[in-house]
Amino acid sequence: MTVVHDTKQSPPKDPSRKVVKRRQRGRPRLEQVADIERELVEVALTEFLKNGYADTSMGMIVKAAGISKTTLYSRFSSKKELFVAMMQEMAEGDLSTQIRADPSPSRSLEDMLCELAFRSLEIGLDPVHSGVIRLIYGESHRLPELRAAGEILARTTMSSILNVMTGYAEREGLVFRDPSVPARLLMLMLRGCHLDVLQSGDMVLDDERRGEISYFIRLLAASKDEW
């Protein structure tokens, strides 16, 4: 994202400060609108991580972005809507589609689910994702909108797990009556594992936790005839 510098001989601005690119006057094109919204979400993410959700105001985001209130409110009517947009952008990119596309015909359901689990958790432990999750855990008890926003990531994980399960069933010519229950169990297990790592402060998915996840998935996959 572009950082705007003053051309006068004044102290340099903080290079970490995010600003929205200035544009020419007139109605923006559709692609420009998307770029503006994406950049606003990025600025908001920085402010939320720095100040927390409750202590971040729309005015602070306007100031950090270097835009007018009209520009912000014409795209996001509230802080809640902006936070939800941020969560939706974080949830973009479906690992399960990549895993389903693996051409290996002999790959087991257990291997596919383990790859999804490990890669999802590793992404969830990067500084940005883990920072947002800490924010949600820390403030959702008094801010219901954070719980609702956090469920976006849970639904994304659930959808990815189901995608891998149904992809395996299609490849093997199987019919799963209702794989949503095992998918939810795995999603909850991964959520608990992620929280456990965050609380430990290690921020690493170590061999012991990988072994526990693999064991759980092996038990789950062994019951696939009941799905």
6, pLDDT greater than 60: no
Tens digit of each residue's pLDDT (9 = 90 or more) over 28-78: 443 455 678 888 889 999 999 999 999 999 999 999 988 889 989 988 999
Cα separation, 96 vs 166, in Å, equals 10
pLDDT at 145: 81
Give me 126's structure tokens. 């990067």
Mean pLDDT of the chain: 82
pLDDT at 150: 80
Tens digit of each residue's pLDDT (9 = 90 or more) over 119-151: 999 988 989 888 998 898 888 888 888 888 888
Please name each of the domains of the chain with its CATH number.
Answer: 1-78 (1.10.10.60), 91-226 (1.10.357)
Cα separation, 20 vs 35, in Å, equals 9
Nearest CA to 194 out of 98, 140, 119 is that of 119
The CA-to-CA distance between both ends of the chain, in Å, stands at 47
pLDDT at 103: 60
Which residues contact residue 4 at a Cβ distance below 8 angstroms, ignoring those fewer than 6 apart? 13, 19, 22, 66
Tens digit of each residue's pLDDT (9 = 90 or more) over 97-111: 767 766 666 789 999
Cα separation, 196 vs 125, in Å, equals 11
pTM of the model: 0.75
pLDDT at 2: 34
